[in-house]
Amino acid sequence: MTVLSEQPSRLAPAALEAYWMPFTANRQFKQKPRMFVRAEGMYYTTDDGRQILDGFAGLWCCNAGHGRKPIVEAIQKQAATMDYSPAFQMGHPAAFELANAIVELAPHSLDHVFFCNSGSEAVDTALKIALAYQRARGEGGRTRLIGRERGYHGVGFGGIAVGGISANRKMYGALMAGVDHLPHTHNLEKNAFSKGQPEWGAHLADELERLVTLHDPSTIAAVIVEPMAGSTGVLIPPKGYLQRLREITSKHGILLIFDEVITAFGRVGTSFASDFFGVEPDMITFAKGVTSGSVPMGGVLVSNAIYQQFMGGPAGAIELFHGYTYSAHPLACAAGLATLKLYKDEGLFERAAKLAPKFEAAVHSLKGTKHVIDVRNIGLVAGIELAARPNAVGARGFETYLACWDRGVLVRNTGDIIALAPALIVEEAQIDRIVSTLKEVLGGLA
């Protein structure tokens, strides 16, 4: 089969067929592909040689920007030194070093790390640890898991069960038994154009009390939420909401899991969103930013109390029957160590915090732009919600994404919500360009 057409970096149409692309309109894409061939700093290069300003850190992950030399060199060096080390009953130093480095950044009580390879695996791992923990402490009746409407926790069976996006759930049968959901916190009537955390909505956490009464605390193992719900279209937690969830879960012996796959590693201007919001959960899932997207990696931070609960059996016993061939893969660990060092050396989390007011002012200047019905933001994340076109929900959002692409700017749409999450190295002029491109595109859109 011919793979390359005359232009060396462009694939012939037939060569696009075999790859079944994830979360993609395959037939539409293959008619008119959008291909990246290089990435450096804040820019991608397309296969037709255009520069695309990355307003989305790849896919919420390249927080240090693209192709950063220290990360690239660390990966190259590790690949040449030791490609792989068995994950079970053996170790390699970088795995332990990276766990220590992550714990150093984490909220005080979270001091152990379980490694995996993605956000989805991190979520399924955290849910399994929650169930096993409750059983290990003699509360084996606590088998229920509680997520939230509109939550995104990846695509494993556990993640879609506790997740609350119906398109991700409806095709996959009964999912997991014993899962319930909190209401989401989105309300445009009350909170449209809030800057940072909205004032209204803390009481929505009290719905957890209702679920606890309905099911009885003795049946509930854990609650999992994204502190800032990203993939559903950037929903910022109302003031006091996460604190209330913490109070209720603690009161009833229920574990609280924060899914920080997007928010960890500087996205909101702190190491973890837990620091930003001042709420310490029992577990944190992370992925994406830990290697700045350079090598797949995920993990779960767990509290000392949870870890110690597993350490009481016979000394030679395996404490948790769970793990992945590629848990703490040497390349991912090398990338992670170099990434965390780069964040520190360049003060990138502080930089994000310092830039946040400028970013906020820029995105809120979209208020009044045609079709815009809400702008919301926290740290270096924003959601710009557009009015849906009658009978064509999502069309306006997708057209906005395509028109920005044509103008050399990468944004992401979830339905009719445009999400922005630039790398933490973004310059002020680049923020202005992203926002002015959106203004221009929306102004011209039907």
Ligand X SMILES: Cc1ncc(COP(=O)(O)O)c(C=O)c1O
Summarize as ranges the residues that interact with ligand X (CB under 6 A). 60, 118-120, 123, 152-154, 226, 230-231, 259, 261-262, 287
Determine the Cα–Cα distance for residues 168 and 160; give it in Å rounded to an integer. 7
Determine the Cα–Cα distance for residues 425 and 351; give it in Å rounded to an integer. 8
Residue 273 or 356 having the CB closest to ligand X: 273
Q: Which residues pair with 425 in a beta bridge?
A: none
Residue 217 or 323 having the CB closest to ligand X: 323
Report strand pairing: 255-259 vs 372-378. Answer: unpaired
130 touches 303 (CB < 8 A): no
Give which of 103, 73, 74 is closest to 330, Cα–Cα: 74
Q: What is the closest distance, in whole angstroms, from the C-beta atom of residue 226 to ligand X in the complex?
A: 5
Which residue has its beta carbon closest to ligand X? Answer: 119
The secondary structure element, H or E, covering residue 435 is: helix 428-443
Residue 46 or 231 having the CB closest to ligand X: 231
In the chain, the N- to C-terminal Cα span, in Å, equals 42
Q: What is the closest distance, in whole angstroms, from the C-beta atom of residue 348 to ligand X in the complex?
A: 20
Residue 262 or 380 having the CB closest to ligand X: 262
In the block, tokens 């008619």 appear at 31
Q: Which residues are CB-contacts of 245 (< 8 A; sequence separation ≥ 6)?
A: 205, 208, 223, 225, 256, 279
Residue 208 or 235 having the CB closest to ligand X: 235
313 touches 137 (CB < 8 A): no
Q: What is the closest distance, in whole angstroms, from the C-beta atom of residue 440 to ligand X in the complex?
A: 28
Separation in Å, CA 428 to CA 351, 356, 366? 11, 10, 16
Residue 299 or 397 having the CB closest to ligand X: 299
Q: What is the closest distance, in whole angstroms, from the C-beta atom of residue 22 to ligand X in the complex?
A: 9
Q: What is the closest distance, in whole angstroms, from the C-beta atom of residue 219 to ligand X in the complex?
A: 25
Q: What is the closest distance, in whole angstroms, from the C-beta atom of residue 222 to ligand X in the complex?
A: 15
Q: What is the closest distance, in whole angstroms, from the C-beta atom of residue 273 to ligand X in the complex?
A: 10
Residue 92 or 153 having the CB closest to ligand X: 153
